[in-house]
Structure 1
Amino acid sequence: MGIGRKSGDRRVILFGFPHCGDFSESYQAWSDGLPASMRFHGVELLQTGMSMREVHSDRWEQGLQEACSFVQRHLVPNEEYVFIGHCWGSLLAFEASHRMRGAGLAEPSHLFLSGCSAPHTLRSRSEAGGLQGSDSGCQPMGEYRPPVDLQQLRSRISVFTGNKDEHAMIDQLAEWSRYTSKICDVHVCEGNHAFWQAHAIKWLQVAQTIVEREYVI
């Protein structure tokens, strides 16, 4: 990527995937301060009000198609891009990465995934029904079925979670490494599954630092 550019001229596009909470405000507060070398796009879906409950539904497939179409419309030749997501937005970003590769397009250079267990460790709503204060919208209704294309991605993965997140257990997050041939690193923040509401800018700034270090400088 970036053929013909000097290292100081490199640009990266950051795509933020939606979440069932009001995550757009956190994206906005953070992305307003991005350097000129980064361009942010919040992925816009017609399928509003989605949640992890939808992963087996036609709405999920429609949302996935809409997300991929949005990304393709905003890609720029020779510019790298990364995906950022929280909860089901992380899972949507993961599936979109596979879908982009299936369409013969370059995969994102990096996935920044927050508050989401690795696909093969996701627990259904029935399995996790005893969790106190859990939001069923953050759990699939049944067993999650990963994409048919199970080849490892060539995207680096960074995973974020709260130290009290009942939906993304710390000791299981390294399992995301199964899905990439590149580095997979785990970052633990303070809080529960909704930690992003209070601390989103903090972990988004960590993601920004990684992007600047790995893809811009």
Structure 2
Amino acid sequence: MNIGVSEINKIKVFPIPYAGASVNVYYEWKKLLPDRYELCMCELAGRGTRFREPCYKSVGEASEDIAKRISEQLKYDDEYVIFGHSMGALLTYEIYYKLKQMGTKEPTHLFFSGRNAPHISEKRDNIENMTNETFLQTVEQYGGLSEEFYTKEIMDIFLPILRADFIILDNYKFQPKAEKISCGISVFYADNDFSTPIKKIPKWTEVVEGNAKFHKFKGEHFFLNRYPNDIVNFIVKDTQPFRGD
């Protein structure tokens, strides 16, 4: 007997945004993912539908909050994956362990994009004490800021969120885990991203016991905005071995 797509539990995809962004940056994926997959949005505090909430004070606080919100959207037998770009990649790593502590079923796969492995430290000047002008110069190295961002109205809203995210990243201290990641992972990176030197990308294998796949793109830090179809296709392709249909 053939089983229709509607009768099969979907694979839930939880995307985690980069610094300063709302989860809505992934909204386009709803149209790109095949029927077997369901895009599930978990908004971060301080933006989008949670704009009135204070921004996170630490990566630990952020990852615990998001892990709870992911867990609330899961049934006991759900398959799911988590994708994170830049800050979202670091949060995805920590969310994995928060979910394990909560006793939540392990994800099928993790996708880390646009960031070094969590035990590779990033050296930056003290963001907290920077002037807005100096902070913007730091942020501009990553690209991705539209001309509209520089209007006073937009900067008044989003600059504090962006700065808060950079501060928790700078204050992050890697703590080795008792167990490595046991599910499969995929790592996406660009050939011209100053923040993720290609020679350091293989370091991701040091935090995982499961299978690790690597996908290189042309471009700079925000390559994911340039290749949404390719990103989604790799998410589907890399989870296929685990599918039950």
TM-score (norm 2): 0.71
Matching of residue 39 in structure 1 with residue 47 in structure 2: no
Secondary structure (helix, strand or coil) at the match of 2:225 reads helix
- Give a deviation string over 1:7-60, Cα, whole Å, max 9, x none: 9735311111122355745522222232332111122122439xxxxxxx7343
- Contact in 2 for aligned 1:161/1:188 (Cα 8 Å): yes
Runs of 4+ in 1 over 6 A off after TM superposition: 136-139
- Give a deviation string over 1:114-173, Cα, whole Å, max 9, x none: 10101111312149xxx995249769435x422453410112110001110111122111
**What's the counterpart of residue 141 of structure 1?**
170
Query: 1:86-97, aligned counterparts within 5 Å?
Result: 86-97=85-96
| Larger fraction in helix | 2
Match of 2:73, as an amino acid?
H
Match of 1:96, as an amino acid?
I
Secondary structure (helix, strand or coil) at the match of 1:212 reads helix
Q: Within 2, Cα distance between the matches of 1:91 and 1:45?
A: 14
Q: Which has the larger radius of gyration?
A: 2
Q: Within 2, Cα distance between the matches of 1:132 and 1:75?
A: 35
**What's the counterpart of residue 181 of structure 2?**
153
- Contact in 2 for aligned 1:86/1:114 (Cα 8 Å): yes
Matching of residue 211 in structure 1 with residue 239 in structure 2: yes
Q: Within 1, Cα distance between the matches of 2:120 and 2:47?
A: 26
**What's the counterpart of residue 52 of structure 1?**
none
Q: Which moved more, 1:75-84 or 1:26-35?
A: 26-35
Q: Within 1, Cα distance between the matches of 2:223 and 2:122?
A: 20
- Give a deviation string over 1:78-134, Cα, whole Å, max 9, x none: 12111001000011011000111122222212111110101111312149xxx9952
Match of 2:47, as an amino acid?
T
Structure 1 spans left out of the alignment, 5+ residues: 1-5, 50-56
Q: Which moved more, 1:205-214 or 1:112-121?
A: 205-214
Q: Which moved more, 1:145-154 or 1:169-178?
A: 145-154
**What's the counterpart of residue 195 of structure 2?**
167
**What's the counterpart of residue 79 of structure 1?**
78
**What's the counterpart of residue 130 of structure 2?**
none
**What's the counterpart of residue 106 of structure 2?**
107
Secondary structure (helix, strand or coil) at the match of 2:32 reads coil
Q: Within 2, Cα distance between the matches of 1:106 and 1:184?
A: 20
Q: Within 1, Cα distance between the matches of 2:203 and 2:139?
A: 24
- Contact in 2 for aligned 1:164/1:191 (Cα 8 Å): yes
Secondary structure (helix, strand or coil) at the match of 1:119 reads coil
Q: Within 2, Cα distance between the matches of 1:116 and 1:138?
A: 14
Q: 1:198 aligns with which of 226, 229, 232?
A: 226
- Contact in 2 for aligned 1:100/1:106 (Cα 8 Å): yes
- Contact in 2 for aligned 1:113/1:158 (Cα 8 Å): yes
- Contact in 2 for aligned 1:12/1:216 (Cα 8 Å): no
Identity of aligned residues (%): 22
Query: 1:56-67, aligned counterparts within 5 Å?
Result: 58-67=57-66
TM-score (norm 1): 0.79
